Amino acid sequence: MAASDHPAVLICAPLRQDALQIATSLGADFPQPTVICEDIVQVRERVGDLDHPAAGMLIISQEAASKEMRDLLDEILAHEPAWSRMPVLFLVSANRASPPACGAGGYGGHEHHYVVLERPVRPDVLRRLCASLCAARRRQFEMAALLEKLREAERNQRFLFDELQHRMRNMLAVLQAIFKLSARRARDLNSFVDSFEARLASFASTHSALSRDRTQRMDLADLVRINVETYSAHEGQLSIDGPPTELPAALSFEIAIIVHELATNAAKYGALSTSNGRVEVKWQVRQGAQGGRNVEIDWRERGGPPVHAPVRKGLGSALIKGRNLAGASRIEVTYDPDGLHWHGWIDLDAA
């Protein structure tokens, strides 16, 4: 049950007029919808999946409070989370024996989660009690949803901290690679300084793009160029081929992280670590099986040193596999003898 939902109040009373009277007592303006169930079978159908019950509360009349009802309630309550129990209200007659469902035992030790009222009950009393029980139940789920959001925020915070540390280590390694690349191709000291300064400026632009406002959309071709050309010894090292593709803001950031990680690894160990290597990036937009749109991206390295799958898989491996991509997105990474091959199917509609 989502915190924003208003699950139904189930009224189980075999006598039709009795059930209608209970529903009328709650009033037409009662915040929860009411559903009348004539027997235990209908209650079971309305409750639905026991792990995700569709009912917010049960009201059970004297005639419906059988041993079979007690067994069903025991089953329902056993599947409830420890921090919440579905409210159960028995409406019994003062001059009759307590029905089996209200007897001692059963409920797996959850007897304190039901309320017994003797009839007749004033409509306003019944309405206030049911409203209070439903509101308490709803607040419990709202609190659970809030706690889950806090846990998710904490997980994201830990991921960002790990990613920051990883990026700092990468920066030092890449700066060293840029220095060596500039020195290797420089004719003299002045040309080395010019080349190194230009690459540092491009490197800074790459990190600015990664740290930019996440509300901005970005073209895929620009994203690839910004993140890869920094590490290219010459223009021929990067080849891109694909139609104009504007990425949603959140997806732009996630793909930028992946491409940046691929480019960084290529500069340290792969095709961009040598002037003879090259990186080919191709993409195309396709219609998904469910009617959504996917962008299929292919990153292939050639001409670099032999690559091998990492023995220890750290944050870098998790980043290139798109750990934060949503929806039907999936990634395949192959360490071919000729160079790394990364292939991704990115769900454009899940961003």
End-to-end CA distance of the chain: 24
Both 322 and 253 in one domain: the answer is yes
- pLDDT for 239-255, tens place per residue? 999 999 998 877 887 88
Q: Which of 96-100, 180-184, 193-197, 238-242 has the lowest mean pLDDT?
A: 180-184
Both 121 and 198 in one domain: the answer is no
Residue 330 lies in a domain: yes
Boundary-marking domain end, from 118, 145, 172? 145
What is the mean predicted confidence (pLDDT) over 30-45?
88
Only one residue has tokens 């340290």, namely 268
The closest alpha carbon to 294, from 228, 223, 245, 225, belongs to 245
pTM above 0.85, yes or no: no
Both 212 and 279 in one domain: the answer is yes
Both 121 and 47 in one domain: the answer is yes
Both 113 and 262 in one domain: the answer is no
Which domain range does residue 62 map to?
A: 8-145
Both 213 and 126 in one domain: the answer is no
Give the per-residue pLDDT at 161. Answer: 83
Both 195 and 138 in one domain: the answer is no
Both 239 and 300 in one domain: the answer is yes
Question: How many domains are contained in the chain?
Answer: 2
CATH of the domain at 98: 3.40.50.2300
* pLDDT, greater one: 18 or 231: 18
- pLDDT for 316-339, tens place per residue? 677 788 776 777 788 999 998 889
pLDDT classification of 53: cutoffs 50, 70, 90: low
In eight-state DSSP terms, residue 321 is T
In eight-state DSSP terms, residue 211 is T
Both 284 and 190 in one domain: the answer is yes
Per DSSP, the three-state class of 330 is strand
Q: In Å, how far are 218, 252, 334 from 215, measured between CA atoms?
A: 10, 9, 32
- pLDDT for 194-203, tens place per residue? 777 766 776 6
Q: In Å, how far are 78, 180, 254, 257 from 251, measured between CA atoms?
A: 41, 33, 5, 10
- pLDDT for 275-286, tens place per residue? 889 999 999 998
∠82-84-88 over CA atoms, to 5°?
125
CATH of the domain at 256: 3.30.565.10
Both 133 and 195 in one domain: the answer is no
pLDDT classification of 144: cutoffs 50, 70, 90: confident
Residues with Cβ < 8 Å from 321, sequence gap 6 or more? 331, 333
Boundary-marking domain end, from 123, 145, 167? 145
